[in-house]
Amino acid sequence: MTEETATSPINDELINGLIAGGLTQNEAKEMLGLENNLSQSQKEAVKQRLSNEEQERKKDNFDPTRALDLQMKDPEKTADTILANMFLKMYQIADAEQVITFLEPLGVTTERKISAVEKIVTKKIKSMNGRSKLNPKGYINLGNPKGINNVVFDVARGTIRPKQEPYEAIYTRVTTPYNPKATAPKFQELFLNHETNGEAFTKLFKYIAYGIYTRGVMKDVYIIQGSGGDGKTQFLEAITNALGSYANTSMTRADLSPKSKDMNRVGFGQSSGALINIIDETEEGLILDGETLKRFYSGKNSPISLEKKGASKPVAIQINGGLIIATNNLPTTNETATKNRISLVEVETIQEKIELVKLTAIMQDEASGILNLLLDEVTNIANNGYDLPKGDKELFAIRSAEINPEVEKSKDIEYYIKQRYKITEDIKDVVDVTYLNDSIKRYAKENSGQLKITNKDIQKTLKSLGVNKNNDTFKYRKIKEIPLS
């Protein structure tokens, strides 16, 4: 090891970072492999001390190596830590030279800032051993991280992309500039504090923050339903714009394009996959029936087909976390398991419509402020916990039953049955299955024009009344025909 190598600017930065983390200069050099004077037991003791300090930093349920773990008491340090962790944790780049190369354009090269990445650097610096260096074309070859074939990190753009152009847009992650002092007064006035719909929007806002906090692992569904002119689409577009591509959405009007090439754009923590999913049924032409609702939460990354307006063929959205659906028409389902997954908030049509020009201004001027409001709510959830409001699930069950045609059909069939038959407790009272089914369908047609009653519908209603079919005799039991007068 030459003196020149041991005292290079890169190594000096790393040594200073480790010293800031609690090591002596000699210990820092040992951990970086620049010296080899300590015994193995002494090295293990140093590692243990680093580990103990790491555990201390995790006491508040926050892991400082995760990009979303925000220490809001020190916003400036938060921004630095997010940037460093976004790069190192998401893309698994641990070579010291690459770290410095990436962080320099961001101004993240002081002792304090470099210490934010010390753990990952010290763990992997030896194993990299010169591989995956930054090449003259300005990108870092990532190899095969997380199953993505042949991708690179473009230093100039600050994005992951496939090595071969022009497909870079596929893996470009669009994020919002982080400004700890940014506010969002118009967003709060028009949505969170709105006199009519503020409570509904606030519930959704907390749910979105919870989706961020759980890092996309929850599988609950929130439906926001209104008759139009209620601001629900505009609310979700403002949220989508603030979260950038960490909101998985098929909505097309939100402005997701970065305004400049500067790299000071903060990400939320996953190299693929969103932390919240948003669908506007009125925009996408999605048919919300019971079967579609079931697919939203059944299985990992359930693909849902959408018929986009103006598109020649359907597209698909992968549901990999919490979901919000905006709709004018409330879907219905009889499945208890589905109802237990769905919460509902209702919004009313308002007089003061939110013009597109006002929404555009909010998205352009208040994105960082909306992001800060979300981060504040994430911190609040981390400290105090969060439960989905039980009443919202009960509301969906009530509203769904009120308009569910299957429920209404069952009530009609029950009425028809009781006009022709009497339910008893005697198993000797029996009626032939075919005879009863035909008589009910005939009675329904003659008295109400109801033509869509099936044998299965009749059997299902009878079962709810305590009348079962004997498959051996092919007769319904505990029922008898009322004599015609």
Please write the tens of the pLDDT for every residue from 26-67: 777 766 666 777 777 777 776 666 666 555 544 433 333 333
One-letter amino acid for residue 246 of the chain: Y
Residue ending a domain, among 375, 401, 427, is: 401
Q: Is the confidence at residue 22, as pLDDT, over 50?
A: yes
> What is d(CA 210, CA 386) in angstroms, rounded to the nearest whole number?
7
- Please check whether residues 153 and 69 belong to one and the same domain: no
In 10 A of CB 232, how many CB atoms? 27
8 A C-beta contact, residue 64 and residue 58: yes
Phi-psi region of 267 (alpha: psi -120 to 50; beta: other; left: phi over 0): beta
Residue whose entry in the numeric block shows the structure tokens 């763990």 = 123
- Please check whether residues 391 and 411 belong to one and the same domain: no
Cα 322 from chain centroid?
4
Q: Is the confidence at residue 322, as pLDDT, over 80?
A: no
And the tokens for 436?
Answer: 């009863």
Strand, helix or coil at 161? strand
- Please check whether residues 235 and 168 belong to one and the same domain: no
Q: Is the confidence at residue 405, as pLDDT, over 70?
A: no
> What is d(CA 318, CA 274) in angstroms, rounded to the nearest whole number?
9
Helical (H) or strand (E) element with 84? helix 75-91
Cα 273 from chain centroid?
8
Q: How confident is the model at residue 245 (pLDDT cuts 50, 70, 90)?
A: low
Can you give the pLDDT at residue 16? Answer: 64
Can you give the pLDDT at residue 199? Answer: 93
Can you give the pLDDT at residue 242? Answer: 79
**% of residues, the chain, pLDDT over 90:** 8
8 A C-beta contact, residue 95 and residue 120: no
> What is d(CA 164, CA 61) in angstroms, rounded to the nearest whole number?
41
Strand, helix or coil at 29? helix
Angle at 349 between CA 344 and CA 350, to 5 degrees: 125
Q: Helices in 110-178 by DSSP H: which ranges?
A: 111-114, 118-128
Instruction: Report the C-alpha dihedral over residues 193, 194, 200, 203, rounded to 10 degrees.
Output: -10
Can you give the pLDDT at residue 480? Answer: 92
- Residue 191 inside a domain? The answer is yes
- Please check whether residues 115 and 140 belong to one and the same domain: no
Q: Is the confidence at residue 71, as pLDDT, over 60?
A: no
- Residue 129 inside a domain? The answer is no
Cβ partners under 8 Å of residue 23, min gap 6: 31, 46, 49, 50
Higher pLDDT, 192 or 246: 192
Q: How confident is the model at residue 429 (pLDDT cuts 50, 70, 90)?
A: very high
And the tokens for 245?
Answer: 């591509």
Please write the tens of the pLDDT for every residue from 339-363: 778 889 999 888 676 666 677 777 7
Query: Which residue segment(s) compose the domain that 152 sits in?
Result: 134-172
- Please check whether residues 280 and 246 belong to one and the same domain: yes
- Please check whether residues 307 and 289 belong to one and the same domain: yes
Residue ending a domain, among 124, 142, 163, is: 124
Q: How confident is the model at residue 431 (pLDDT cuts 50, 70, 90)?
A: very high
Please write the tens of the pLDDT for every residue from 163-218: 544 333 333 445 566 677 889 998 998 899 988 899 999 999 999 888 777 766 66
- Please check whether residues 338 and 257 belong to one and the same domain: yes
And the tokens for 279?
Answer: 């669908």
Residue whose entry in the numeric block shows the structure tokens 């075919």 = 434
Can you give the pLDDT at residue 251? Answer: 34
Q: Is the confidence at residue 299, as pLDDT, over 60?
A: no
Please write the tens of the pLDDT for every residue from 110-154: 444 444 444 433 343 333 333 333 333 444 444 443 333 444 444
Can you give the pLDDT at residue 349? Answer: 84
Residue ending a domain, among 372, 401, 430, is: 401
- Please check whether residues 182 and 289 belong to one and the same domain: yes
Q: Is the confidence at residue 262, as pLDDT, over 80?
A: no
- Please check whether residues 338 and 353 belong to one and the same domain: yes
The percent helix, strand, coil of the chain (3-state, each to 5) is: 50, 15, 40
One-letter amino acid for residue 285 of the chain: G
| Bridge partners for 480 per DSSP | 422
- Please check whether residues 341 and 269 belong to one and the same domain: yes
Mean pLDDT of the region 288-302: 63
- Residue 309 inside a domain? The answer is yes
* Structural domains in the chain (count): 4
| CATH number, residue 227 | 3.40.50
Closest C-alpha to 324, from 446, 467, 206:
206
Average pLDDT, the chain: 65
Can you give the pLDDT at residue 203? Answer: 94
> What is d(CA 433, CA 473) in angstroms, rounded to the nearest whole number?
9
- Please check whether residues 261 and 391 belong to one and the same domain: yes
Please write the tens of the pLDDT for every residue from 443-482: 877 766 555 788 888 998 898 888 999 888 999 999 999 8
Residue whose entry in the numeric block shows the structure tokens 């903060």 = 266
Higher pLDDT, 135 or 278: 278
Q: How confident is the model at residue 317 (pLDDT cuts 50, 70, 90)?
A: low
Mean pLDDT of the region 269-293: 59
- Read off φ and ψ for residue 16, nearest 5 degrees: -60, -35
Q: Is the confidence at residue 380, as pLDDT, over 70?
A: yes
- By CB atoms closer than 10 A (0-12, 13-18, 19+), residue 24 is exposed
- Residue 91 inside a domain? The answer is yes
- Please check whether residues 96 and 153 belong to one and the same domain: no
Can you give the pLDDT at residue 112? Answer: 41
Can you give the pLDDT at residue 416? Answer: 84
Can you give the pLDDT at residue 356? Answer: 61
Where are the strands (E) in 164-235, listed by range?
176-177, 221-225
